[in-house]
A and B are shown apart, each in its own frame.
Chain A
Amino acid sequence: MQQPVVLIGNGLWLQMATAIVAKHLHPFGYKCIALELAATIKEDPAVACGPELATLCQMLDLPLQLVLTRAKGTFSLGSRYQSGEKNWFVPFGHYGLNGSAAEFEQAIVQLLKQDPNSKAELFSIAAQAALQGKFALAPANRPDLAEALSYGLHLHTAEFAACLKQFNQQLGVTFVRSQTVQMSYNSQGQVSDLQLDQGAAIPVGYCLDCRAEPTAKEASRTVQLFSAQDTTELVQQPFSTVVQTSWGWLLRIPLQHASYWFSQSTDPTLDLSHIRQELQQLTGLSDWQQSTRQQPTESEPWQHNHLRLGQAAATLDCPLYNGLSALQYLVIRWLDLLPNQNSCPATALMYNQHWQQYQSEVQDFLLLHQHPLATKTGRAFARLGRVLSTETDAIKAGQWFGLMQGLGLKAELPSMLLANRTETEIHQGLRQVQQQIARLVATMPSQADTLNRCLQQLSH
């Protein structure tokens, strides 16, 4: 492939995709061009990134400290959910201290059934640390703890995009601006070049389209978005907050000096003034921004040399699941197949099948929030207390388990693999883990201290 890889879009999604692609292809001498188009959708001011971001930063050689400083970031060990009087924690990491401990979650399920006052989060080190405002990176010699303490970041979107843009420029990415773009196709249906404003053209090897907006031809649904800024400092909160509302869910992302609230509704019959009123009641904030966007559908993002990654990621993007995670997945998966890939349609086909599976797992996770028993995952959990095995890593096992038990799904049937353990044995085992977790958390620093240390390291 001699022609450049051209990435189209704007904002954080364009910068993130460009960073991953440029970093990967740089050693092979590929040319990357980022075509920045005028934004037609306003980006959310803050973004909650999952644990894949830390791995990604490592892969990019992008210091986490730099990201935290530039993007006014905080750590995230998961989400604290609130529904009426009830609250629970959904960690990124696994429960217990040994990710491969057989039937550990089933023991928790059994305990919760016998003791409704107990809580699953007692057996999650991430939840215990988060709820006490603590955060620490697991020591290098404790890979087990690294898994249990998987963390994401809360970041200021525009600042993070700016940080990545600088990184991309240092990598030698060529940035081009245009108001419009038209694609020209060759006889095989491949994008041959991009026509920009005033007759300029860019030849294309691969076109990675990071635009989230659906084109007029494509099916989409209308989404009402609500957001607000809150100046309360939440630096002792290494988690996001998710609050149930009458129409869905409300997310709060804490940054270093402020936090942001987001919600969305897809029901066109809802009274928007009623939503604003409820938002005000729940948050005490009156200054809510409201906007509308079209959410596309995209199940076959790879067509010839054109990958509609933005549209694919946007199918899943909502306050409860950040489309940036999907975009990162799509780019990395594609890169794993690059660059000697041009003429193998089977690869695009399998890539699209894999994407459909990923999409379906995330959609299942999102649907769980609204109608737990309408999903096969929810039904299986309500019967068996188990998280069904997944074909992709879109949602972590701890997230599935944390969400479903928190939503109140209780297993009807006991675990047969625990059938030969007495109740006392199970409770003792759980208590031991709980004590170990409590001891570990007691020695952890607060998020504020860890953040300060990170920021100081950078200034040195």
Chain B
Amino acid sequence: MIEKIRKIIVLGGGSAGWMTAAALGKVLKNQYCQIQVIESEQIGTVGVGEATIPQIMLYNDLIGLDENDFMRRTQATFKLGIQFVDWQKPGSSYFHAFGDVGKNMEGLQFYHYWLKMRALGKAAPLDEYTLSSLACLEYRFMRSMDAGNSPLSNIAYAFHFDAGLFAKYLRELAEQWGVQRTEGEVVEVQQLDNGFIRSLRLADGTEHEADFFIDCSGFRGLLIEQTLKTGYEDWSHWLPCDRAIAVPSASISEPWPFTRATAQRAGWQWRIPLQHRVGNGHVYCSRFMSEDEATSILLKNLDGEALAEPRPIRFVTGKRKQFWNKNCLAVGLAGGFMEPLESTSLHLVQATISKLFSFFPDRNFAQSDIDEFNRQMHFDYDKIRDFLILHYHATERNDSEFWNYCRTMPVPDELTQKIQQFKANGRIFRFNNEMFSDLSWFEVMLGQGIEPQAYHPMADLFPEAELAKRLEGIRSVIRKSVDYMPSHQSFIDQNCKAGKIY
């Protein structure tokens, strides 16, 4: 006998809260159960400029988002990848670009052929075989078009947007779909005898009951941690940065279609171009750098004038020991925090929402479903964690205590194995459900300076001259395709230009 969920409360109204509420509102249409968001304007959200990865399209499809409208409303720009500057060593730079790298041949990944020809001194830089990288370098963008086998038929992209405007936009949609919003600060959480959450009492004295609570209260995890004492797995020994300073700055040029992550002495700095401004932040490790110094570095490296006071953010990298505990599900920062180096925060929100629909409970809250949900979430977090650690650990930088620590720290066994395997033979071993593809691993490992000693021997099946001809053919197709693409700015102007704010 199903005991239907009658009401869901989403606590917190940042990106995670409104993404969850909008998805629930769209899918359940307020007919299946009542959905209420409780948020307080007194409590700020982390809401800095947010960057995403192409999987965001799944979420957009789920809620039926009009992409151009969404871009206008959130001052968004397009994103084709991330440029990592100074990570391998000062002066180095590489792209972790979305989409294909070259073209696979005879069932073998392109990069093996490229490794072979590079060893012979007969290959151009990888970016010249990668549509997204080349488009980034030339500030070009377009959406996929129907062009047969051309790389223009398959352009993978994501977005940069203003997280505050994004939350506001989703709030409007969610409210249209029947989600009820309540302004207020939670002062007490009532639990049942079995520890399940019964209700939330707000500062105005009102009490709000629900069957299922979604904790989007951010780092503090008001329900999942402060109430249910779920526990937190601290990863700061692997991902030691624990502070960020964020500040918006004026745009002084056309927006780039990529995020830039520049390594600094004790962390790194992000630069996220939006239509109306640039989002900047400096993620750093407080063991190795003071807040004043971090702020000074950030401000010194802004392209344009700062548009607000720098805002400090504190965090501990890690994850909850359970994302779903009793009748409470933690989404977003309440569930865990991995720094925004690979723009995975909103992806993890979306992955949690997607799994929630697959494991949507009734009031019995079957523990086996919750266990499987948690297992899948741990898998996602752990695999992403390893990918992030790779950026810090695989470096030649020895110019500061921070980098010396990162370079020499012990890392998870699975990551060690992946690195060793890549070094030995250029192969990448992964399971079906890992989020980052072998191409992502390849681009980052190579970009961080891990040089494979070999490539797949199948690459030797092509005679050298034939392979050189094929690589040149691919490079030429990529070049022509990028030439066909309009500039990022003109694509925005023609399709989704936002109104001026600043």
On A, residues with C-beta under 8 Å from B are: 27-28, 336-341, 343-347, 349-351, 354, 357, 376, 379-380, 383-384, 386, 388-393, 412-417, 419-420
Contact = CB atoms under 8 A, between A and B. Distances in A.
Contacts of A380: 368-369, 372
Given A336-B427, A379-B368, A393-B432, A344 B421 contact: yes
12 contacts: A27-B461, A28-B457, A346-B417, A346-B421, A346-B424, A347-B425, A347-B429, A349-B417, A384-B360, A386-B358, A388-B372, A413-B360
Interface of B: 2, 27-29, 31-32, 357-362, 366, 368-369, 371-372, 376, 416-418, 420-421, 424-425, 427, 429, 431-433, 453-454, 457, 460-461
Contacts of A351: 429
B420 A346 contact: yes
Contacts of B368: 376, 379-380, 383
* Prevailing SS type, chain A contact patch: loop
Contacts of A415: 357, 360
A62 B424 CA distance: 33
A57 B105 CA distance: 20
A350 B28 CA distance: 42
Nearest to A345: B420
A376 B369 CA distance: 9
A354 B427 CA distance: 15
B362 A337 contact: no
A339 B372 CA distance: 38
Contact of B362 (A345, A346, A390, A412): A412
Considering residues B2, B32, B417, B453, which has the most beta carbons from chain A within 10 angstroms of its beta carbon? B417
Contacts of A336: 427
Contacts of A379: 368
A384 B420 contact: no
Given A380-B372, A386-B358, A419-B29, A392 B431 contact: yes
Contacts, number: 94
B457 to A, nearest CB: 6
Contacts of B453: 340
B360 A391 contact: no
Contacts of B28: 416, 419-420
Given A339-B457, A346-B420, A389-B376, A420 B2 contact: no
A194 to B, nearest CB: 25
Contact of B432 (A28, A338, A392, A417): A392
A420 B27 contact: yes
Contact of A383 (B366, B429, B432): B366
A388 B376 CA distance: 10
Contacts of A350: 417-418, 421, 429
Given A347-B424, A350-B421, A351-B429, 7 more contacts: A340-B453, A344-B420, A346-B418, A346-B420, A347-B421, A386-B358, A393-B432
Contacts of B372: 376, 380, 388
Nearest to A377: B372
A357 B427 contact: no
Contacts of B425: 337, 340-341, 344, 347
Nearest to B425: A340
B457 A384 contact: no
A383 B424 contact: no
A435 B366 CA distance: 38
Contacts of A347: 417, 420-421, 424-425, 427, 429
Contacts of B31: 419-420
B424 A417 contact: no
A419 B27 contact: yes
Nearest to A389: B433
A327 to B, nearest CB: 20
Contacts of A417: 27, 357
Contacts of B429: 347, 350-351, 354
A351 B28 CA distance: 43
Contacts of B432: 389-393
Contacts of B431: 354, 357, 391-392
A361 to B, nearest CB: 10
Nearest to B426: A340
A75 to B, nearest CB: 25
